[in-house]
Chain A
Amino acid sequence: MPDAKKFLYVNRKAPYGTIYALESLEVVLIAAAFEQDVSLAFLDDGVFQLTKDQNTDGIGVKNFSPTFRALGDYEVTKLFVEKESLEERGLDPSDLQEITWEDEDADWEEKPSIRIVSRAEMADIMADQDVVLSF
């Protein structure tokens, strides 16, 4: 992808209660069709978007958390999660659902999409982008 721009979608809000998380995911799925270099970042309450065993029966909205597991099909393979945001909320990486992508260049080996990064690393990741979109 020689002309691909680096897009980072920053997710800061909890999955339900506002429409931001779902809208962000939909924009990501649409943008993925344009063959750009797409990454997602999860920080602040955004880390809750990736928690496992979500159940929305009580609030009458769709549980869209399984859709994150389809991102690999859309060649979106980098989900950066901020370590400090997890810790501040009493979460650790084992509280997050497993999300993998299949590496075509490595005989379709399944590789993890979630990468836990420090706040300092997250700042570097953001600085390295062409476009940063915040949700």
Chain B
Amino acid sequence: MAYQVNGTAIEADEEGYIVNLDEWSKELAAEIAKAENVEMTENHWKVIEFLRNYYDEFQLAPAVRVLVKNAKKKLGADIGNSKTLEAMFPDGAAKQGCKIAGLPKPTGCV
């Protein structure tokens, strides 16, 4: 499959994770979110930024409990709890969050 951003096709795998991580942009993230039926709020963008920073630092898309734990530390308990994060990303905070953030599917996610 592919996403369309400003007339350019961005290639993604059959689950919707982009193939070339360098092709990510905020416009693309908005496009992926639309395909996922996720309405992006300011808090969504904070989580996306957090995920991208985590990947940058560790070369790893975090598992959900690691996301929750670290989001609590970095973004505060209002966002960093599993109930809120799962409500923001109904298909799985790590799984869907990483997809919108242009990262690989978290290791161990099915």
**Chain A interface residues (CB < 8 Å from chain B):** 26, 29-30, 32-33, 62-64, 66-67, 69-70, 73-74
User: Chain A nearest CB: distance from B69 CB in Å?
Assistant: 7
Query: How many cross-chain pairs have Cβ atoms below 8 Å apart between A and B?
Result: 35
Q: Given the known A-B contacts A29-B63, A33-B63, are A70 and B58 also in contact in the complex, defined by CB atoms under 8 Å? A: yes
Within 8 Å by CB of B108, from A33, A63, A66, A73, lies: A33
**Chain B interface residues (CB < 8 Å from chain A):** 54, 57-60, 62-63, 65-66, 69-70, 107-108
Flag if A66 contacts B57 (CB, 8 Å). Answer: yes
User: Chain A nearest CB: distance from B35 CB in Å?
Assistant: 27
Flag if B58 contacts A69 (CB, 8 Å). Answer: yes
22 contacts across the A-B interface (CB closer than 8 A) = A29-B60, A29-B63, A32-B63, A33-B65, A33-B108, A62-B59, A63-B59, A64-B59, A66-B57, A66-B58, A66-B60, A67-B58, A69-B57, A70-B54, A70-B57, A70-B60, A70-B62, A73-B62, A73-B69, A73-B70, A74-B63, A74-B66
What A residues does B70 contact at CB under 8 A? 73
What B residues does A74 contact at CB under 8 A? 63, 66
Flag if B107 contacts A29 (CB, 8 Å). Answer: yes
Nearest residue in B to A73 (C-beta to C-beta)?
B66
A69 and B62 alpha carbons, distance in the complex (Å):
12
What B residues does A70 contact at CB under 8 A? 54, 57-58, 60, 62, 66
Task: Beyond the given A29-B108, A62-B59, A74-B63, please list 4 additional residue pairs across the A-B interface where CB-CB is below 8 A.
Answer: A30-B108, A66-B59, A70-B57, A73-B69
Flag if B59 contacts A67 (CB, 8 Å). Answer: yes
